[in-house]
Amino acid sequence: MIREKDKIEIYIDEGLCKGCDICIELCRPGVFVKSEKLNSRGYYVPVPASMNKCTGCMICELICPELAVIIKKNELVKEVV
Amino acid sequence: MKNELLKYLRTDILPTEFCSGCGCGTVLNIFCHVVDELKINPDDIIMVTGIGCSSWIPSPYFSADTLHTTHGRAIAFATGVKVMKPDKHVIVIAGDGDLAGIGGNHLIHAARRNIGLTVFLVNNYIYGMTGGQVSPTTPSNVPTTTTPYGNTEPAFKIAELVSAAGASYVARWTTYQVFHLKKAMKDAILNKGFSFIEICSQCPTSYGKRVGMREGIDQLKDFRDNSIDLKKTAGMKDEELENKFIVGKFAERNRTEFTENLRNINRKFDEVPV
Amino acid sequence: MTRENYLSKLKNRTLFIQGDEAAAYGALYAGCNFFAGYPITPASEVAELMAKELPKVDGYYIQMEDEIASIGAMIGAAWSGGKSMTATSGPGFSLMQENIGYACMTETPCVIVNVQRSGPSTGQATLAAQGDMLQARWGTHGDHEMIALSPSSVQESFDLMLEAFNLSEKYRNPVIFLLDGEVGHIREKVVFPDINEVNIHPRNISKEKVDVFGGMRIPPMIEFGQGHRIHVTGSTHKSNGMRDVVSQEAHDKLIRRLNDKIESNRDEISKYELHFTDDMEYLVVSYGASARPSMGAVLKLREKGYKVGFLRLITIWPFSSTIVKELGKKVKNIFVPEMNLGQISREIERFVSCAVHPVSKIGGVAHTINEIVYEIESEVKKY
């Protein structure tokens, strides 16, 4: 089966992140994991480790209290399932 | 990569001074999305705010004309602004202590007047900035620094109160329901009369830890698991609604706006001799 | 209707009106276009006249839910291009104090009328007093300077209101207009001037983005809604308006400038009237309603052969210390009739070495000429 899907990229602005884990915990498909190393301000920032699970729902971008999660939805790509 | 929405903020003072996991940042974030999606020029926004953590959302972070007033008086100051600048979006963001506590009188009178302000009340259930004293929205029995044996008072139901006072638009959402909240913020800004959203928000530092929710995410999960749609509450008993967050749209009415009424009086004198 | 059309119709007219109403007309001449108030005796007549007349000059009257809201709305309007005023009496003036400080801190031009009645608390609501002279100066918390004016007649209530607005614009400071229940409610003749002959100090508004809270002693203002994204706060702030609440230097610099802009112009702001001071041995100092019987007493005492001079204070704050100091050197005694227990009398003591005698009367009834004559005569006879 071939379906069309947004090509989604997630960026984390490490300089703004305060490691509250809200994105990690509220992402239903579980895209994020906690980074193993601290950012410059001493927080463990999230890493979008499983991008293939991302549905592009945007909750992480909208709910981030620091505007540190940025979602880019680029051109549609065809994906073979 | 930087968030494009940072263009709406005074970026030289970022990151914010909000605690990790604080809901104020989420409100700021969604507000930026709303301004962007409605294509409002920030030059056409005048932010008015009071004292407390949530008053820091506009002052200093959101980059527009900002009037950071005395405690509780944001709506009173905003009334003067709106009368003189009726074509601008005059938006008040402040907290429960500010708008429903010390400034409660201004809130209900502005709703009665139906002046075209947009008010986002960030309800974190506590006086956060001063270190966690009981507020008019703190639920009964909750221990705070000034109710060490548990809160002996019932809490205000602010959205219901403002609706009863006559506001044009009233809604309540939590910081968990980000999509509903975003839509409601748009509706509120576009509404010409007094529009009001009570935003239930997490305060891990001064409130959450007193009710067994030490992290912001714990309170967000509480919002997720215990919110109930206003439409589904008909016929439900008070006991069933205890500790629930009743969310939804409480009022949407067509009433003439206050400053419009004032201007209509002035027009009567345009051609008339003294 | 334009303000010009409205005022051209008042030109050279003579009305028999109350001091409260004259103050309101003075405000309309000064260009006041926003009034927020709350009813209170004996100041309600100011609000009532503004409610009736402001729409005729395309201005706005709002009755707010209390005096705190009134002064708040007024400050908001001032930053949005309005020339703002409110009017109240003692209890309302007490409620306004916090935001009077906000207006000082944010350098907001506005006029606050206090038609004084007997206090403290509800006191004698319908009767006159001059009990808020020091509250006008020191009522709000923190170090600050204040401008306060006090008229003695209905015509002066009109004239001085123009001055009140001009001073508030020139120095970017709130101005307290200290009427009293006596001058506020008395009816006298007022002759309205030609608006073209009235001096109006325009607001110093910058079209460019500038520092609104520093850089010079009295910086220009910026109006909301012009795209400057200005930040106005009652917290200690830097010259660009952004909060800086922990730095000792920032607070010191700001507060000293705010005080300095009034203090260094003390003599320019100070207005007073002198009578018979050339040959005087004794001096009477008074202001507002009590200046009227004081002048009568001075005339009567001079008929009796006492060399009494008279200083009528028009500007109350900043205090006219230069002239008081100078006159104090020439006399043996200073008498200060006032409708309180010696508030300005105490201020005079700070600047003179001669004896200062308060001639106090409280209870809502003004001094009679004979009461003042008696008090002064019995004191003078001791020497």
Chains C and A touch, using 3 or more CB pairs below 8 Å: no
| Chain A residues within an 8 Å CB radius of B14 | 16
Chain B residues in contact with C102 (beta carbon < 8 A)? 69-70
Cα C80 from Cα B78, distance rounded (Å): 10
Rounded Cα distance, B28 and B108, in Å: 24
The owner of tokens 């990569």 is B1
Q: Backbone phi, then psi, for B238, in 5-degree steps?
A: -55, -40
Looking at the predicted structure, is the pLDDT value of residue A1 above 80?
Answer: no
| Residue scoring higher pLDDT (C1 or B96) | B96
Burial C60-98 (b: 16+ CB within 10 A, else e): bbbebbbbbbbbbbbbbbbbbbbbbbbbbbbbbbbbbbb
Question: Cα(B120)–Cα(B32) distance, rounded to whole angstroms?
Answer: 13
In chain C, the largest separation of any two C-alpha atoms, in whole Å, equals 70
C 22-41 residues with CB < 8 A to B: 34, 36
Rounded-to-integer distance, Cα C9 and Cα B99, Å: 45
Residue A37 in this model has a pLDDT that exceeds 90: no
- Put simply, the answer to whether B26 touches A18 (Cβ < 8 Å) is no
User: Looking at chain B, which residue has its C-alpha nearest residue C97?
Assistant: B70
Give how far A70 is from chain B: nearest CA, Å: 6
How sure is the predictor about B50, in pLDDT bands with cuts at 50, 70 and 90?
A: very high
Q: Which chain B residue has its CA at the smallest distance from A68's CA? A: B3
Chain B residues inside the 8 Å CB shell of C1: 269-272, 274
Q: How confident is the model at residue C255 (pLDDT cuts 50, 70, 90)?
A: very high
Task: Please give the C-alpha separations between residue C240 and each of C211, C213, C258, in angstroms, as whole numbers.
Answer: 5, 6, 15
> What burial class does residue C210 get, using C-beta atoms within 10 Å of its C-beta: 0-12 exposed, 13-18 middle, 19+ buried?
middle
Could you give the percent of chain B with pLDDT greater than 90?
97
- Residues C39 and B250: beta-carbon distance below 8 Å: no
Residue B52 has a pLDDT of 97
- Residue C55 makes CB contacts below 8 A (sequence gap 6+) with B262, B265, B266, B268, B269, C61
C306-347 tens-digit pLDDT:
999 999 999 999 999 999 999 999 999 999 999 999 999 999
- Sequence letter at residue C10: L
Contact B243/C at CB under 8 A: no
Could you count the other beta carbons within 10 Å of the beta carbon of residue C216?
11
Arithmetic mean of pLDDT over chain C: 97
Number of domains forming the structure of chain A: 1
Separation of alpha carbons C21 and B105, rounded Å: 30
pLDDT tens figures, B104-131: 999 999 999 999 999 999 999 999 999 9
Q: Cβ–Cβ of B16/A59 closer than 8 Å?
A: no
Q: Cβ(B74)–Cβ(B94) under 8 Å?
A: yes
Q: How does pLDDT run across C355-370, given as a tens digit for each residue?
A: 999 999 999 999 999 9
Tens digits of residue pLDDT in C76-114: 999 999 999 999 999 999 999 999 999 999 999 999 999
With CB atoms and an 8 Å threshold, state whether A63 touches B175: yes
Mean pLDDT of B178-191: 98
3-state secondary structure of C99: helix
Rounded CA-CA distance C242/A54 in Å is 40
Helix, strand, or coil (residue C305): coil
Contact C147, C116 (CB under 8 A): no
C42 confidence band (pLDDT: 50, 70, 90): very high
CB within 8 Å: B30 and A62: yes
Chains touching C by CB (3 or more pairs below 8 Å): B
Check if B1 contacts C (Cβ < 8 Å).
Answer: no
**Cβ atoms within 10 Å of B218's Cβ, excluding its own:** 17
Residue B19 CB neighbour total at 10 angstroms: 20
Residue in A16, A26, A67 nearest the CB of B220: A26
Kindly state which CATH superfamily the domain B22-268 is placed in: Thiamin diphosphate (ThDP)-binding fold, Pyr/PP domains (3.40.50.970)
Rounded to a whole number of angstroms, the distance from the CA of B109 to the nearest CA of chain C is 7
CB of C98 within 8 Å of any CB in chain B? yes
Pick from C72, C102, C224: which is nearest to B65 by CB?
C224
Domain range holding A29?
A: 2-80
Q: What are phi and psi of C91, to 5 degrees?
A: -60, -40
Strand extents, DSSP E, C166-260: 174-180, 187-191, 231-233
* B60 vs C contacts (CB less than 8 Å): 231, 242-243
User: Tokens representing B142?
Assistant: 């909750």
Per-residue pLDDT at A81 exceeds 90: no
Question: Nearest-CA residue of chain B relative to A19?
Answer: B20
Average pLDDT of the segment spanning C143-166: 98
Interchain proximity C229–B44, CB inside 8 Å: no
Residues C282-291: b if buried by 16+ CB within 10 A, e if exposed = bbbbbbbbbb
- pLDDT tens-digit series, residues B7-19: 999 999 999 999 9
DSSP chain B: ---GGGGGB-GGGPSPSSPTT-HHHHHHHHHHHHHHHTT--GGGEEEEE-SSGGGGIIIIIB-SEEEE-STT-HHHHHHHHHHH-TTSEEEEEEEHIIIIIITHHHHHHHHHHT-SEEEEEEE-SSBTTTTSB--TTSPTT--BTTBTT---SPPP-HHHHHHHHT-SEEEEEETT-HHHHHHHHHHHHH-SS-EEEEEE---TTTTGGGGT--SHHHHHHHHHHHEEEGGGGTT--HHHHTT-EEEEEEEE-----HHHHHHHHHHHTSS---
Residue C174, phi then psi, degrees to nearest 5: -65, 145
- pLDDT bracket for residue C2 (50, 70, 90): confident
Other CB atoms within 10 Å distance of the CB of residue A43 = 18
Select from A55, A67, A69, A74 the residue whose CB has the most chain B CBs within 10 Å, as the one to mutate to test that interface: A67
User: Which amino acid is it at B60?
Assistant: P
Contact between B15 and A16 using a beta-carbon 8 Å cutoff? yes
For residue C382, the model assigns a pLDDT of 84
Percentage of chain C lying above the pLDDT 70 cut: 100
CA angle C147, C148, C153 (to 5 degrees): 145
Give me the mean pLDDT over the C290-296 stretch.
98
pLDDT for the residue numbered C109 = 98
Residues C30-42 as b or e (16 or more Cβ within 10 Å = b): bbbbbbbbbebbb
| Mean pLDDT of the B232-260 span | 95
- CB B109 to CB C64 under 8 A? yes
What average pLDDT score do residues C171-176 get?
98
Question: What's the half-sphere exposure (Cβ side, CA atoms, 13 Å) at C379?
Answer: 21
Of the candidates C65, C225, C228, the beta carbon closest to that of B85 is on C225
* The pLDDT value given to residue B1: 85
Domains of chain C: 3-197 (3.40.50.970), 272-380 (3.40.50.920)
What is the reported pLDDT for A77?
A: 67
CATH number for position A41: 3.30.70.20
- Between chains, do B1 and A70 touch, taking CB under 8 Å as contact? yes
